[in-house]
Structure 1
Amino acid sequence: MGGYSVVMAVASDTLAFFTRVYDWVDANVINLITTTVIIAIILIVYRVLAIEIDKLRKKQIIDNNTAFLFKRITKWTVYVVYGVLIFNTLGIKIDFFLGLWVLAGGTIIGFASMNTIGNALAGLIIMVSRPFKISDRLYFQEQYVVVEDIDIIYTRMRTLDNVVISVPNQIILETVIANQSVYDVVRRNVVVTMDYSEDPAKIRGILMTAVETVEEIKDESAPYVWITDFPSYAMEYTLFYYISDTQRVQMIDSKVREAIMTGFTANELDMSTPNLIKSVK
């Protein structure tokens, strides 16, 4: 009898629960239908807006960065509207929850997410001011990178080593960045030292001949050589040249160094220490 009573009690409670649910649905059927229709309409509008934004991006009326910003703002607006509609339909007063959130969690979350908020604000500034855009070629922290994506917290970049790095937007905002995509070509240079006894005109000629053998060097921007320093051990020469493919900058620099080495060796000029190629910048 005890087991039977328990089963009956559970059955009674379950029936009462479903009865209350049915009564609530019956009393709010109009609100449920209205909310469902509104949500469906908002979803359709969001999809249409997303398609139109993509069309504007493909027609190059807006760039990738602006399209991304519009989509992100639209998506979060839809989420907020959905939340308000659902809470109102369920009869939940959101004023109390909002007040509780601000009072109990606002301070803690504010301290814990100080960096996140800073990165978010920096992300918005980058999206609005647009110092660079997606697919731009940048010189960032002493290396060439290509912008893959600009998010609200992080900006993702691909290095020459084909590694994707995620950089907090606050760091980007505080860092000097050279946007190489603004220019068709970028200048590179190689610093070489040679003994004072060697004729500068001869050294200049060897360097110019060497760089002419590298096919990636831009012909329309002629390379040139300067004497840039007089250190105690040798005369310093700097060869300047221009390239357009910064994705292959390491390979092109290597070809230039190899051509210089070949040129000096062919002319029987000693490049051993301290007469050596010092650096490529």
Structure 2
Amino acid sequence: METNLRTLGPNETKVVLSFREQGREVVRAAEIIDLLGSEQTGRKVIRNLIRKGWLSRLVGGRYMLLPPEHGPENIGENNMLALASAVIEPSYVGWWSAAAFHGFTTQKPMAVTVAVLRQARARLIEGSEVRFVTIAEQKFFGFKSYNVYGRNVMISTPEKTVIDCIDRPELAGGPAELARIIYSAMSEIDAVALADAGLTMKSTSLLQRLGFLTDIVGKPLPEETRQRIRQAIPKSTRSTLGRPKRKEGDLGYVAAWGLFVNARSEDLLAEVPRLRSGKEA
């Protein structure tokens, strides 16, 4: 009779317990081979552990350990945030994926987006797409470890999540979804920390979008923070939000922030709760 229960042979037990005792969540093939003292034995054990549900393949000789606490049945690892963030070090889950984790959107992104410092191609892991986005080192900050279903996962902080989404709206579901994320986030995050993160990115266009978007969703920055942002924007600088070219009905130039908005107000606010009789819907 076939069984879906996870079993272990002697060498497999040695591998699982050794790395579990070290508190390891990710292991490399070379480490398993070193532990067992034989490449042939090590490779065989790795194949067996994958087949039996004790290891989940990440990338090129890198595996996530599914310890005894994972349960007796071979059901694989379904914690996609943990799998995605474990592929490359250093890295962090960001943009739309982080916004969903922090509860700033009810949408579930089709792919997990991960910030990295070196280029890496997208991968399918356990049937789900993981997209790696290379960013400059000066933007690689503002993340920490969160416990996600018992796994330690590097995810951008709430404030940095919003800033990353403003920096790359296409990675946050587009302008309308970005507006919804900002609307939801502004009641939960620290405006000073948000401004600090924005200023650290050293992007004028980001600061212009930040000021405009917080205004249009009805969650303006506190006056002191607002002035900090304004002072960091050169008066002659202009940037764009939305489609490449302006169309009839678009908001156009917003003088307060030196921003050309190539989108209609109703489109930007399509996912944002509207005001009805002076109360939020």
TM normalised by structure 2 equals: 0.27
Choose 1 or 2 for highest CA Rg: 1
What TM-score, normalized to structure 1? 0.27
Q: Which has the larger share of helix?
A: 1
